[in-house]
Structure 1
């Protein structure tokens, strides 16, 4: 292997409940508009035929408990509370009935969004990248192994400074975890290191510097994020 001009930082890792070793993040996939009520509040139609996706870089990851600066380039910085799952075995063209076998574990996650940039991109029919894929925009709590958690009708919720903003249940996802894996594995060779966020319920909204976000899913470790001063 040839020498490189410089050394890149190692990819971030997510702690795993009960394990000393951590889960390294390779790729991050996100499912859009996977709760009907959230699609409606965004003024979008629900697509029940198949999920759609956007991606985020591993460099967007931060861990629960972090304080991150209010990001540059936005005046409308939004929270989105989500269930994430991580892949534990190679998967390509996986049947839905076999899909859960490749899941290593589940965790709470926040998909932070520069909503004004996203709205402008949508209006101009441009990609969303600048609204989603930026530093400290994907926050992870510790992973709970799949043997210790099964997705059902668990409550998913989020609070800002203790005031409830999102409150729903996982069974309201339009496309469940197995369906997401079966569909995504048609297009990608999924592998360990892949992290998939499954979408947010209704109630998304802005946060400002000095506020603290807390979110949870029954049976998983909670996630917390404090918003610092603007960059």
Structure 2
């Protein structure tokens, strides 16, 4: 009999669950693009309501609340995007909108960190967005509040602050595609599983951050998320 062994074991990213000692193991990270009209206009991408589109980040891009994000290489324009994060708790595909909330385990505050110069270059060349979006430490996520234990913030607010100064402030109701619609659309392209995180898009107000900056996201009814940008390899060598 041949016994198969793995050459090495890889740690699995996880996020704490509010009110318990449990942790939510992360399987995949999906992100929704162009989901607030004011951000679409801010990026000079028109006024159209398109079908939602998605990109992914690596699982190990998760950074915990209170963590440090090294300034990444290959950019001089690292920008924040504060977002509501949905944690999937039930397996499913082709999910009807009216049943989508039953697939949600919990909600959290998140940040979609973006190498904006790389994203714009990819867009102009009609290349995929990976260079701008899918890099190390690019998906900070706060503690997950189970929907059974927290008031779901349908009409809540999202605020992002840099060094205590407010940079983003929006009503979650202004999302072009709401959470059930996002889950339904996503589940028609991917088989969703427990462990999937869905970042639901950002409003206007995005801007660069530098080493030493602290970025904080606050969402109604949810635990806040704060991370600090630290010196990366490029900055440390300058």
Give me the TM-score of the superposition, normalised by structure 1: 0.97
The equivalent of 2:124 in structure 1 is 123
SS of match in other structure, 1:101: helix
Matched, 1:159 2:161: yes
The equivalent of 2:91 in structure 1 is 90
The equivalent of 2:186 in structure 1 is 184
Q: CA deviation at 1:41?
A: 0.5
Q: 1:18 to 1:189 in 2, by over 3 A?
A: same
Counterpart-to-counterpart distance in 2, 1:169 and 1:7:
45
The equivalent of 1:68 in structure 2 is 69
Give CA deviations for 1:140-199 in whole Å, capped at 9, x if unaligned. Answer: 110011122313121101111111110111000000000011111111111101110000
CA contact (8 A) 1:48 1:175 kept: no
Superposition pairs for residues 6-155 of structure 1, below 5 Å?
A: 6-147=7-148, 148-155=150-157
CA contact (8 A) 2:85 2:110 kept: yes
The equivalent of 2:228 in structure 1 is 226
CA contact (8 A) 2:152 2:221 kept: no
CA contact (8 A) 1:33 1:46 kept: no
The equivalent of 1:195 in structure 2 is 197
Q: CA deviation at 1:49?
A: 4.4
The alignment's C-alpha RMSD in Å is 1.1
Q: CA deviation at 1:47?
A: 4.4
Counterpart-to-counterpart distance in 1, 2:69 and 2:56:
21
Q: CA deviation at 1:50?
A: 1.9
Structure 2: 5+ residue runs without aligned partners?
234-238
After superposing the two structures, state which structure 1 stretch, 43-52 or 26-35, moved more: 43-52
Structure 1: 5+ residue runs without aligned partners?
none
Counterpart-to-counterpart distance in 2, 1:124 and 1:2:
44
SS of match in other structure, 2:184: helix
Q: CA deviation at 1:10?
A: 1.9
Give me the TM-score of the superposition, normalised by structure 2: 0.94
SS of match in other structure, 2:108: strand
Q: CA deviation at 1:124?
A: 0.7
Q: CA deviation at 1:63?
A: 0.6
Counterpart-to-counterpart distance in 2, 1:154 and 1:209:
30
